[in-house]
Structure 1
Amino acid sequence: MEEIPANLIDRLAEAKEQGRLGEVAAVETALAAAGQKLQAMQEATIRTTVLSLGVPDIRRSVGRPTGSGT
């Protein structure tokens, strides 16, 4: 995924050299979107590395029945 911004930067330079203003605007928009997507992917990776241990069931640890038939 990191290759995409590099390719877009090359396309942007080429479009600027050739004076294609419409393509410059489109590539700049695509470059911004690619950057946002990469950032979101990195943040999602950070969030998913957190380990949830859950809440212990105290009723089982003290030997009480967990059913409602008391």
Structure 2
Amino acid sequence: MPRLQEIHSNLLDRLQEAKDQGWLGEVAAIETTMAAAAQKLEAMRDRAAQPPTVHLGMPDFRRDAGRSSAEYED
């Protein structure tokens, strides 16, 4: 995530330069790239906010605990 934040910041500088120079095609390309980087950062933040593990609980063996092999013999 830090690297993507650095790239996004760099894109802001490049965007300003492209606007100053009147490079309209470059402005559009940088804005598209910035939007994609912003989406990726948001997804990374959302993922980081989620708990790292999922509690699955313990299986309930009570139903099977009283059975013996004799119950299955005919």
Q: Which residue of 2 aligns with 1:34?
A: 37
Equivalent residue pairs, number: 66
Q: Which runs of 5+ in 2 are unaligned?
A: none
Runs of 4+ in 1 over 4 A off after TM superposition: none
TM-score (normalizing by structure 1): 0.77
TM-score, structure 2 as length reference: 0.73
The residue identity in structure 2 corresponding to 1:21 is L
Residue-by-residue CA offset, 1:13-32 (whole Å, 9 max, x unaligned): 00000000000000000011
* Unmatched tracts of structure 1, length 5 or more: none
More helix by share: 2
1:20 aligns with 2:23: yes
1:46: which partner in 2? 49
Q: Which has the higher contact order (CA 8 A, sep 6+)?
A: 2
Q: What residue is the counterpart of 1:59 in the other structure?
A: 61
Which entry has the higher C-alpha Rg, 1 or 2?
Answer: 2
Mapped partners of 1:50, 1:36: distance in 2: 21
Q: Provide the identity percentage.
A: 45
Query: What RMSD, in angstroms, separates the aligned Cα atoms of the two structures?
Result: 2.4
